[in-house]
């Protein structure tokens, strides 16, 4: 089993991510998850990868697996992994949750329609579960369904969820399935596909609170030294900052940023960074929604900075 996750455990995760406890806060999620699996079954062989899945490593990671269970929290990664599964003929277990609603399906390029038959291009990335909210138990329900579907496929080399989307409304206690077919105009598996290889796509984000369409800009570590900025904002937790930081930074943890954004002059040019570049995108959204106009996120975060410095 391979667990890939670049993030660390945060206190806000605990109500919906039941693998973790308060003692795990500040630790890498992949390592905590792997240790929990080994504690349940000492014979379980688990590899923890504390890094992002990207174009550079998706082929290698997908190639090592017999089946992929999607636990992504953003559409860019989800569609990258899904497309890699399709091209490499690997079964893919899709799952998504938000508020009281969850959905899942199983897809395989050999004999089932693909994710792009449902969504030809990645939908707009609205606020995440942490921001828009999710009923904590729902994560466990959909996750258990995905695990069950993966076991069923491995045992039978087939799935009853091929071509079916399971929709679950936990608020009303209602579950139903709807059928979908291979779309002949699908850009991936249609008769005349326009997607001919694995690629990353830019996904636009927006604020559901403000109704503002946001495109989060990113810069790389190599661009940081030449990029003009007034504030280098570190949005990691205290425990992470204690292990190292980029000189000249201002520290405000992401969870405190909505209340403390006024500490940064609104006309500032801001570069946000975190551990891997995910939370810094959320921080950028917070600042843009608060009225800042010049905000960018540091791609790869402190991990990329450390690797570049080394």
The residues carrying an active-site annotation are 129
Alpha-carbon gap, residue 262 to 125, rounded angstroms: 26
Secondary structure class of 112 (helix, strand, coil): coil
Alpha-carbon gap, residue 3 to 11, rounded angstroms: 21
Best CA proximity match to 300, nearest among 270, 275, 271: 275
Alpha-carbon gap, residue 138 to 99, rounded angstroms: 8
Q: What is the 3-state secondary structure (H, E, C) of 134-181?
A: ECHHHHHHHHHHHHHHHHHHHHHCCCCCECEEEEEECCCCEEEEEECC
Pairing assessment for the beta strands 269-273 and 231-234 based on DSSP bridges = parallel
Alpha-carbon gap, residue 79 to 72, rounded angstroms: 9
Beta bridge partners of 295: 270
Instruction: Give Cβ neighbours of residue 308 (< 8 Å, ≥ 6 apart).
Output: 221, 222
Distances (CA, A) of 46 to 33, 49, 108: 9, 10, 24
DSSP-derived letter for residue 130 is H
Q: Decide if 66 contacts 82 (C-beta within 8 A).
A: no
Alpha-carbon gap, residue 287 to 299, rounded angstroms: 17
List phi, psi (to 5°) of 65: -105, 155
């Amino acid at each position: 089993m391979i667990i890939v996750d670049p993030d660390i455990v945060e206190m806000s995760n605990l109500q919906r991510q039941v693998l973790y406890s308060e003692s795990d806060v500040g630790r890498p999620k992949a390592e905590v998850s792997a240790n929990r699996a080994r504690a349940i079954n000492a014979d379980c062989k688990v590899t923890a990868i504390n890094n992002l899945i990207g174009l550079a490593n998706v082929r290698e990671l997908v190639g090592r697996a017999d089946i992929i269970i999607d636990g992504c929290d953003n559409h860019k990664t989800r569609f990258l992994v899904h497309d890699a599964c399709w091209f490499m003929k690997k079964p893919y277990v899709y799952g998504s949750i938000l508020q009281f609603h969850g959905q899942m399906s199983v897809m395989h390029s050999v004999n089932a329609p693909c994710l792009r038959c449902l969504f030809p291009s990645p939908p707009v990335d609205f606020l995440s579960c942490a921001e828009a909210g999710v009923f904590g138990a729902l994560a466990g329900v959909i996750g258990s369904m995905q695990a069950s579907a993966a076991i069923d496929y491995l045992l039978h080399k087939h799935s009853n969820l091929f071509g079916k989307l399971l929709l679950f409304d936990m608020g009303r206690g209602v579950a139903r399935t709807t059928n979908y077919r291979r779309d002949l105009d699908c850009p991936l598996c249609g008769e005349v596909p326009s997607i001919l290889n694995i690629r990353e796509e830019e996904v636009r984000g927006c604020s559901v609170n403000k109704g503002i369409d946001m495109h989060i800009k990113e810069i790389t570590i190599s661009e940081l030294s030449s990029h003009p900025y007034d504030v280098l904002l570190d949005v990691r937790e205290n425990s992470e900052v204690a292990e190292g930081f980029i000189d000249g930074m201002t520290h405000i943890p992401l969870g405190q940023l909505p209340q403390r954004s006024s500490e940064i002059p609104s006309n500032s040019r801001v570069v946000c960074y975190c551990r891997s570049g995910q939370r810094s995108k959320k921080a950028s959204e917070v600042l843009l929604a608060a009225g800042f106009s010049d905000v960018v996120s540091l791609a790869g975060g402190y991990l990329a900075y450390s690797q570049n410095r080394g």
